[in-house]
Amino acid sequence: MKDEEWSNFCHTIDQIYQSTKFIDDGHVADYIPQLKKANPNLYSISVYTLDGREYHIGDSEYNFCIQSCSKPISYLLALEEHGLEYVSNHIGKEPSGCKFNSFRFNDENKPFNPLINAGAIMACSLIKSKERDDLRFDHIMNTWKQIVGENNVEFDNTVYLSEKLTAYRNTALANIMMENGIFPEDTDIEKTLQLYFQACSIKMNTKALAKCAAMLCNGGIIDSKKVFSSEICKYILCIMYQSGMYDYSGRWGFDIGLPAKSGVSGAIFTVIPNFGGICTFSPRLDKNGNSVRGVRFFTELVKYYKMHMFDQFSSNMESKKISINNETIYDIGTNKSYKELETHLLKSGEDINKTDYDGRSLLHVLMDEKKYDSVFVLLKNNANYKLKDRWGNSLDNKQCIKIKIVLLYYFKYKMTLKSYFSRWK
């Protein structure tokens, strides 16, 4: 994104923040005693883009407990540990059409999806179930730390205790699931609920949750670290799209058109494909349990920017292609000389590891085009040769060994790459 576009975007965020700041409809959640104490006037918005830009306004340093915003990550941890097939034996992937803490289950007596309480409790039962309690929570906490940064996550013990003390409904849900025989064998309900309440009591601010949304947007990678595979990120994004906003999910999908997750503490984090993540926090909730200002903010935002996922549907394929400095990866790979790459692309600070819809990076295109001099320039600039395209090809395999040998020879004998590769065939 160009600097000017970015500053216009931030200006719009500012404007919407100012115009929604005075809305005081709705009520702070009160069924968990500690949540009742929240200051209803807090309000913040944070943006975290795929190219690492950040913008924050309002009380963005304020740490709140994330409540249901923990559910996507708990599901990802269960998926990472057991795979989709096993997890799907315990948790469905359908919208429930009921309240988040409803006693209704699907035809197989399983929770409808991982974003309602029953599904999230089930997901927690699948996380490192053979380990000690402290290690299980450590695993969840460490994952959050990896995503949002070591010092940006806390634990709210008072919320945890208060939720545990008043957990009549969640305990009933867990008991029904036990009665239905859908927990994995040897599940300890009490420990499972404990882990679920702990996950809900993790604390962070909108800066951190926006970064989590950006990680999901980026196929599980953040700060150059792979936290989750892009495959399972895709799964949770689908479920967030259809079930992330409680009983408002259908309307949200229609009006806003973005995967999102809401929590009763007043947070909403939203993933904007090819752009990044945005998180809002404001504790007053509407009758569906979503933050009033948060929903209003996103409703306004999509009036200014075509961020709805299906906005792009009507435009042609050309505009869908992922570009670097407005040129498609394919065009750069085929048309640019290695000198141009060196002088323009590498100096522009653009991400040279961007991939297109087929998962092909510039390196993939350049290898196919046999433009080894350009490949050399990119590798010299630390391009990621491990990236796999849609068909699973990376330069990490034999091709890359070729390149590494060539680099060695290049330095040793200063021979031209072309002459070296022509001998290879």
Spatial distance between the Cα atoms of 331 and 422, rounded to a whole number of angstroms: 24
Listed residue (113, 337, 54, 130) closest to 237, CA to CA: 113
Please, which residue, 171 or 230, has the CB nearer to ligand GLN? 171
Q: Pairing mode, if any, of strands 44-49 and 276-281?
A: antiparallel
Contact pattern from residue 131 through residue 170 relative to ligand GLN, giving x for each residue in contact according to CB under 6 A and a dash for the rest = --------------------------------x------x
Using CB under 6 A as the binding rule, whether residue 100 contacts ligand GLN is answered as yes
By CB under 6 A, is residue 49 in contact with ligand GLN?
no
The residue (of 100 and 269) whose beta carbon lies closer to ligand GLN is 100
> Half-sphere exposure of residue 107, counting CA atoms within 13 Å on the CB side?
1
How far is the C-alpha of 25 from the C-alpha of 264, rounded, in Å?
A: 15
Q: Tell me the residue nearest to ligand GLN as measured from the CB.
A: 68
User: In whole angstroms, how large is the CA radius of gyration of the chain?
Assistant: 24
How many residues lie near ligand GLN (CB under 6 A)? 11
Task: Give yes or no for residue 35 binding ligand GLN (CB under 6 A).
Answer: no
Residue whose entry in the numeric block shows the structure tokens 């700060």: 223
State the binding string over 385-414 for ligand GLN (x if CB under 6 A, else -): ------------------------------
Q: Which helix (H) or strand (E) holds 27?
A: strand 27-28
| Residue window 58-97: x/- pattern of binding to ligand GLN, with contact defined by CB under 6 A | ---------xx-----------------------------
249 part of the interface to ligand GLN, by CB under 6 A: no
- The 3-state DSSP class for residue 378 equals helix
Residue with Cβ nearer ligand GLN (164 or 364): 164
Q: If DSSP codes are grouped into helix, strand and coil, which group holds residue 400? A: helix
Shortest distance (Å) from residue 72 CB to ligand GLN = 12
Q: State in Å, rounded, how far the first CA of the chain is from the last one.
A: 41
CB of 277 to ligand GLN, least distance (A): 18
DSSP structure string for 215-266: HHHTTTEETTEE-S-HHHHHHHHHHHHHHTTGGGHHHHHHHT-S-EEE-TTS
CB of 65 to ligand GLN, least distance (A): 8
- Using CB under 6 A as the binding rule, whether residue 101 contacts ligand GLN is answered as yes
Residues 178-207 that bind ligand GLN (CB under 6 A): 200
Positions touching ligand GLN (CB under 6 A) are: 67-68, 100-101, 117, 163, 170, 200, 263-264, 289
